[in-house]
Chains A and B, each alone.
Chain A
Amino acid sequence: RFFQNHLSDYYMQD
C-alpha cells in the first residue's frame, strides 16, 4: 500500500 521514496528523490549529490 505504501511506496518507499529514496533520499536521492529529495537531495542532490554533492
Chain B
Amino acid sequence: MFEARLLQGGLLKKVLDSIKDIITEGNFDCSPNGLSLQAMDSSHVSLIDILLESEGFEHYRCDRNIPMGLNITNLVKMIKCAGSEDIVTIKCEDKPDNVTFLFESKDNDKISDFEMKTMTIDDEHLLVPDQTYTAVVKMPSAEFQRLCRDMAAIGDTVNISVTKEGVRFSTTGDMGTANITVRPNPSGDQKEEERTEVQITEPVSAGFALRYLNSFTKATPLSPTVTLGMVPNLPIVVEYKIADMGHVRYYLAPKIED
C-alpha cells in the first residue's frame, strides 16, 4: 500500500497549479523514493518531471511501485477543497481503483476525506538523460515570469542566448521587436535568491515557444529562483526546486528557423 502525509498541504495545490495548464491526466508513480510524475503535453513538445522525495513527507510508506493514473482536472477540484494550511494524507492500495485524500485542519478541528477514481493511462515515458548543461542560468523566478509575460505580449517565439555577459531574450512580432538582457550580478548586496548567475562552457542560443514558457512560470510560487539549462540543439530545461522536497522540471523542444 501507499500512504504519505504532507504537513504543508498548500504545496500540493501549488504543484497542481504548475501542471494543470499543460496536462489533463498523468501517472503519479509512487515508489519508496517518493512520489513522481512524468508527462508530456498533448502535442509532445514539452515534458513535465516532478519529484516529491519521501523524506519531505512527515510520514511516508510505500511497499512497492504503484502507478496512480489520475485526471488532473478532477484532482485539482478535489485538492481545492483542502485549506491551504491543511495537512494532507494520500492513501491507496497496491493496485488502486481509488485514491483517498484526507485533509486535516491545522488545529485538528476539521477532518475531510475524498475518494477519487483512478484511471489507466497509456502514456509514453521518455528517457531523459542526465545532462551536463553548456549554459546554466539561475535567476529570480518572479523576474523570469515577468520577462516571459512581457515577451509574449510582443511575439510568439523567444530567442534565448546565453553568453558569459548575460542572458538575452529576444522576440519579434507584428508590432516590432523586444530585447531584454539580464546580467549576472553575483557580487552585489542581494540575497542569494535575488541574484542572477550564469555558468557557461560555451555560448548557446535557441528559440522557444513563449506559450509553453509562460505555462511553466505557473510554478513560480514553488520557488524564489528558477534555473534554465541549455545545450546546443537540445531541449531547454526549466527547473523550480521545491525546498527540502524535490523539484518541478519542464523540458521544451526548441523551435528551428525554417
Contact = CB atoms under 8 A, between A and B. Distances in A.
B258 A13 contact: no
Contacts of B40: 7
A7 B235 contact: yes
B12 interface: no
Contact of B253 (A1, A5, A13): A5
Interface stretch (B103-111, B121-129, B138-146): B121-129
Contacts of B257: 1-3
A3 B208 CA distance: 10
Nearest to B172: A1
Given A4-B45, A4-B209, A11 B256 contact: no
B126 A11 contact: yes
A7 to B, nearest CB: 5
Contacts of B235: 7, 10-11
Contact of B126 (A1, A4, A5, A13): A13
Chain A interface, DSSP helix/strand/loop, else mixed: mixed
Given A7-B47, A11-B126, A2 B253 contact: no
Given A9-B253, A11-B128, A13-B124, A1 B258 contact: yes
Contacts of B46: 7
Contact of A7 (B207, B251, B258): B251
Interface string B196-233: 00000000000101000000000000000000000000
B61 interface: no
Given A3-B256, A4-B253, A13 B125 contact: yes
A7 B256 contact: no
Interface of B: 40, 43-47, 124-129, 156-157, 207, 209, 234-235, 251, 253-258
28 contacts: A1-B257, A2-B156, A2-B256, A2-B258, A3-B258, A4-B45, A4-B255, A5-B45, A5-B256, A6-B43, A7-B45, A7-B46, A7-B126, A7-B251, A8-B44, A8-B124, A8-B126, A10-B234, A10-B253, A11-B47, A11-B128, A11-B129, A11-B235, A13-B125, A13-B126, A14-B125, A14-B126, A14-B127
Q: Across the A-B interface, give the 4 residue pairs with the lowest CB-CB distance, nearest first.
A: A14-B125, A11-B126, A2-B255, A5-B253
